[in-house]
Amino acid sequence: MTSDRAGEDGETSGAGDPGANGVGSVVDVAISRLKQRIGSGEFAPGHRLPPESVLAGELELSRPSLREAVRALAMAGVLEVRRGDGTFVTDLRPERLMSAIGSFLDLAQDTALDEMLECRKVLEPGATAIAATRIDDAALDGLLERIERMRTMQDPRELVREDLAFHADIVAATGNRTLQSLVSSVSNRTARARTWRALVKSDVLAWTHQQHMDIHAALRARDSLGAFAAASRHVNDVETWVRERLDAVRETPGGPLG
C-alpha cells in the first residue's frame, strides 16, 4: 500500500464508513469488502491493489480501517505487502484464497485454540517417546508409506488428513487407548489451524517431510529421547507459526476480535 500523507491517519473517506454508526467491527467490514472483491475475481491472484487512498474511497472505508484489514489479510497469507512496491494478492489459487480467509477469521475468533495447541505440545511428544519403545516394524513401514504419500500431495486438506493419520498411528503404537483418545481429541481441534497453515505456507511440504522423517528415524532407532525431541520440534514449529500470526491480529485495536 502507498504510505499515508502527513496528518491523514485519522481521515475518513466519507459517511459510508461503517464505523460512523458503530455497527460491528470496522475492520471486519473492511475485510469483508476486500474478500468480496477477491472472491469475485476483480482482485485476482498476483493483482496489485490500488493505492490506499483510492481503495479506501472505493470501499467507503477510512484509511486506518483499510490498513488494519490489509494487515490482517497479510497475516492470513492472502495479501503480500512488498515494501516500496505495493500490496498484492498472493499467487494462491482462488479457491485457496477464499479458504485461507475463512479459516483465518474463524481461528482468530477461537479462544480455545491456544489451549488446544498447548495441549498438543504436552501430549504428542510424550506419546511419541512411548511409541519408540513399543512400535513394531510393520507400523514403522506403514508410517514411512504415509510420509512418502504426503510428499506428493497438493491438496492442503488431504495433506492435513494424512498428517493427522500419521500422528494417530504413532500414538496407536503405544497401546494406550486413553492416550489415543486424548491425543485424537486435541489433534482434531487443531486441524483447522494446520489446514490454514498448509494453505498459505509455500514450503510446508518440504518442511513437513523433513520433520516427519526425523520422527520416523528416531522411532526406527527405538530412541525414546530422540523421538520426544523430534516430535517437540515439529509441534512447536507449527504452534509458533500459527500463534505469531493470530496474536498479531488479535492484539490489534479494532481488529477481528474488536
Rounded-to-integer distance, Cα 208 and Cα 198, Å = 10
In this structure, are residues 114 and 189 in contact, taking their beta carbons and an 8 Å threshold? Answer: no
Check whether residue 104 and residue 211 sit in a common domain. yes
Give the domain-ending residue among 44, 64, 89: 89
Same domain, 40 and 68: yes
- Domains identified in the chain, total number: 2
Residue 85 resides in a domain: yes
Residues 245 and 203 reside in one and the same domain: yes
- Contacting residues for 112 by C-beta, under 8 A, at least 6 apart: 189
Contact 190/113 with Cβ under 8 angstroms? yes
Judgement on whether residues 69 and 139 belong to the same structural domain of the protein: no
Residues 129 and 169 in one domain: yes
Note down the domain range covering 45.
Answer: 26-89
Note the pLDDT of residue 228: 98
CB contact at 8 A, 252 and 68: yes
* Placement of cell 472505493 in the chain: 58
Instruction: Return per-residue pLDDT of the chain as tens, 258 residues.
Output: 433 333 344 443 333 444 433 333 666 777 788 878 877 888 888 889 999 889 889 888 888 888 888 887 888 788 888 888 888 988 777 777 778 877 887 887 888 899 999 999 999 999 999 999 999 999 999 999 999 999 988 888 899 999 999 999 999 999 999 999 999 999 989 998 998 888 888 788 899 999 999 999 999 999 999 999 999 999 999 999 898 888 776 665 544 434
Alpha carbons 72 and 186: distance in angstroms, whole number? 26
Give residue 199's pLDDT: 82
Q: Which three cell numbers stand for residue 11?
A: 481521515
Determine, yes or no, domain membership for 20: no
Specify the CATH number for the domain of residue 172. Answer: 1.20.120.530
Identify whether residues 84 and 106 lie together within a single domain.
no
Q: Do the Cβ atoms of 130 and 176 come closer than 8 Å? A: yes
Pairing, β 79-82 against β 86-89: antiparallel
How many whole angstroms separate alpha carbon 11 and alpha carbon 52?
Answer: 12
**pLDDT of the residue at 27:** 67
Shared-domain flag, residues 130 and 215: yes
